[in-house]
Amino acid sequence: MCGIVGIVGKRPVNQAIYDALTVLQHRGQDAAGIVTWGKDGLNVRKSNGLVRDVFHHRHMLRLTGNVGIGHVRYPTAGGSQVAEAQPFYVNSPYGICLAHNGNLTNHGELSELLMKEDRRHLNTGSDSEVLLNVFAHELQSRTNGRPDPEQIFDAVDAVHKRCSGGYAVVAMIIGHGIVAFRDPNGIRPIVIGQRETAAGTEFMVASESVALDILQFKRIRDIRPGEVVFIENGGVMHSRQFREAAGYSPCIFEFVYFARPDSIIDNLSVYKARLRMGEQLAGQIVREWPDHDIDVVIPIPDTSRTSAGQVAYHLGVKYREGFIKNRYIGRTFIMPGQAERANSVRRKLNAIDLEFRGKNVLLVDDSIVRGTTSKQIIKIARDAGARKVYFASAAPPVRYPNVYGIDMPAVSELVANGRTVPEIQEIIGADRLIYLDLHGLIRSVRHDNSEIREFDTSCFSGIYVTGEVTDDYLKNLEKVRSDQAKAKRELRLHSKGSENASTESGMSTSLPDSAVGM
C-alpha cells in the first residue's frame, strides 16, 4: 500500500506536496519522494524513511516549480532499498515521472516483454517501474511532437489492456502536465480536487480526500474505474473513461484498516463505515452470545476506536480507553518482518491497569491478520489483571492473500488460513473470539453508494475480481514475499550496502531541461 499525490498549481507546490504526504504517511512508512518541474528543470528528492526525515530545509529549497508529484512507499513488490523509492523516471518520451499505489499481478510477464519486445531496460524489481515503462512505450508509439489529450488517453487505454491487478497512478509528463488513472476495476483509490486562487484554478489528485482537505482543495470526485485524467500545466483538465472498464470493485480493506477515518473514498465515508461495522458487530454478539458477561469494551488504538464505541453503545456496557499508544512507533501491520512486529507491540502499547483489573474485557480490533499483535495484546491485558479477555474483530477472518497492493500474500503467515475460529481463539489466547461476518462488513461499507455492486473482498473470500489469479501465482508469491524471503533479500542488500553507500544515502538532484528530454 502506498500514497500518491500530484498537483498542477499556479505557485510553488513543494510545501503543498510535503503537507499532503504527511497526512498520507499512514499508507507507507518505508520511503518518500517528491519530484517537481519548473523553469529550473526537473527536481527530485527521495529516500528511505518518513516524510519528516527525508525532506529537510535544503531539499525543499531545491524542489522548485508549480507542478509536481509525490509518493510514500510501503513495499509490496521489489525491496526496501532506496533505489525502489518513487517517483520513478524515464527520459523518453519527453521525460516521465510516475508514482503508483497498488500491485500488478502480471508483473513478471510484463517485465520480460518490456525487455525483449519493447527493448526497455529495468533498473529495479518494482512493478511501478514496469508500469511506467509500459506507459512510456505506449505514449511514444502514438506521439510525434507535443502530446495531445487523445494520444495520452489512447496510451493509458493500452496500459489497461496490458496490465492486470489493482493500481492508481499519477504521472508527470515533463513540460506538459499530469496524468492520473485508475485500474478498470477501481480497486485502488484516487480522488481529484480543485482550488481557486487569484492566479487561476489549481488541480490536485491524491490517494485519499484528507490530503485535499488539509490543503483546502474542493473534492470534485473520485476518478472512476478505468478513467484517465490529464491536467495540462496551464490548468486545463481533460478526461476519458476506458471503454472496457470491468466494473466498480473498490478494496474493502481500505475501509477496514488502511484509510484515515476522515477520508471519503468512492463517495463513502470511512468514518461512517466503521461506525456501522461496530453496529453490525454488536448485533452479531447479541445474536450469538445473548448472555454475555462483558464488563467493558476497550479498543486497540487507533483504527478500531470508531467501531468499538458503537459496540459498547449497542451492548449497553462501558467503553474505556485501556491502552495508551506510543505515537512514535509505526503501524505494526506494515513493519518489515514478523519478529519486528512482535517486538514492537510492547513498545507501542501500555495498559492502564485499573481499566482491566478484575474485569471481563472485550478488546475490539479492526482485523486480525497474522495474529501476532492480537496474541501480544491479549497477554498485556491479562498481565494488567483482566479476569477474562474476549476479542472481537470488526472484519471477517483474513484467510487468503491480497494481491492488489496490500502486503499479506504469504498464506502461511495468515493465522486464519485453514483454521476454525476456535483454533484461532486458542492460538491468540482469547477466552472468546468473535468475527464480523462478510455480509455485515459489506452492508456496513456500501450503505451510501448503491452504484458499487461489489467490493474486492479477496483477503476474506478468496475471490479475485480480476479473474487471472491462479494457485500457481499464489504459490510463487508465497516463495518471494514471505517474511523469511524478505529477510534473506534484505540481508543480501545490506551485504552490498558498502558498495553503494553514496546511492543508499538518498537522492536529491536538480536537472536542467536538456537532461530530461525537453
Q: What residues act catalytically?
A: 2
**Burial 59-86, CB ≥16 within 10 A → b, else e:** bbeebbbbbbbbbbbbbbbbbbbbbbbb
CA atoms of 479 and 318, how far apart (whole Å) = 46
For the packed helices 127-140 and 107-116, what is the interaxial angle rounded to 10 degrees? 50
Amino acid at 393: S
- Give per-residue burial for 147-168: e unless 16+ CB within 10 Å, then b: bebebbbbbbbbbbebbbbbbb
Nearest to 99, CA basis, from 75, 60, 70: 70
Nearest to 391 by CA among 381, 405, 401: 381
Could you list the beta-strand ranges (E) of 233-321: 237-241, 264-265, 268-269, 296-299, 318-319
Q: How is residue 34 written as a grid cell?
A: 517528491
What's 223's DSSP letter? P
Distance CA 192, CA 232 (A): 14
The string of DSSP letters for 93-136 reads SS-EEEEEEEEETTHHHHHHHHHHTS-----SS-HHHHHHHHHH
Q: What is the 3-state secondary structure (H, E, C) of 141-158?
A: CCCCCCCCHHHHHHHHHH
Residue 111 C-alpha from the chain's centroid = 23
220 contacts 18 by C-beta, under 8 angstroms: no
Exposed e or buried b for every residue in 23-36, given b needs 16+ CB within 10 A? bbbbbbbbbbbbbb
Mark residue 407 as left, alpha or beta (left: phi above 0; alpha: psi -120 to 50; beta: remaining).
Answer: beta
CA distance 198 to 256: 40
CB 150 within 8 Å of CB 76: no
Give ∠ CA 263-84-117 in degrees, rounded to 5: 110
Pairing between strand 177-182 and 227-232?
antiparallel
